[in-house]
């Protein structure tokens, strides 16, 4: 992720969470409450779903409709990081732990799934 403070420099998840916290303080006044942010997160996921349905599915685009996948995904990350900041979740540590869990649990599962064989 590139952005804010170190233009051109890759951001860690931890740095991105801090950058978003700084942005909220400077421009957003305060965080919306957790319930509002959760509702916003589901809205953003819906917008990504609509875009994927139009780009990869059978639906067609409406005139002037956003077709930027990266922008929609970034909106999701922004709101998710807001929720993480509000609830004290270190997403970088949580993702590392989640990958360890999945690696242990699924180390052979997908390899042995006949539905995934080419």
Please check whether residue 49 lies inside any domain of the structure: yes
Count how many domains the chain has. 1
Domain region containing 39: 13-90
By CB atoms closer than 10 A (0-12, 13-18, 19+), residue 109 is exposed
Task: Report the distance separating Cα 60 and Cα 50, nearest Å.
Answer: 10
pLDDT tens for each residue of 50-105: 999 999 999 999 998 889 999 999 999 999 999 999 999 999 999 999 999 999 99
> Where residue 49 sits, what CATH number does that domain have?
1.10.287.1080
- Whether the CB-CB separation of 91 and 13 falls below 8 Å is answered with yes
pLDDT tens for each residue of 19-51: 999 999 999 999 999 999 999 999 999 999 999
- Higher pLDDT among residues 4 and 103, named by residue: 103
């Amino acid at each position: 992720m590139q952005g804010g403070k170190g233009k051109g420099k890759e951001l860690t998840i931890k740095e991105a969470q801090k950058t978003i916290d700084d942005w909220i303080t400077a421009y957003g006044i305060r965080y919306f409450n957790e319930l509002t942010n959760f509702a916003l997160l589901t809205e953003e996921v819906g917008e990504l779903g609509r875009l994927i349905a139009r780009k990869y599915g059978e639906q067609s685009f409406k005139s002037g409709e956003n077709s930027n996948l990266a922008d929609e995904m970034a909106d999701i990350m922004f709101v998710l990081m807001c929720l993480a900041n509000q609830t004290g979740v270190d997403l970088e540590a949580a993702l590392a732990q989640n990958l360890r869990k999945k690696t242990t649990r699924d180390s052979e599962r997908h390899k042995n799934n006949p539905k995934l064989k080419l």
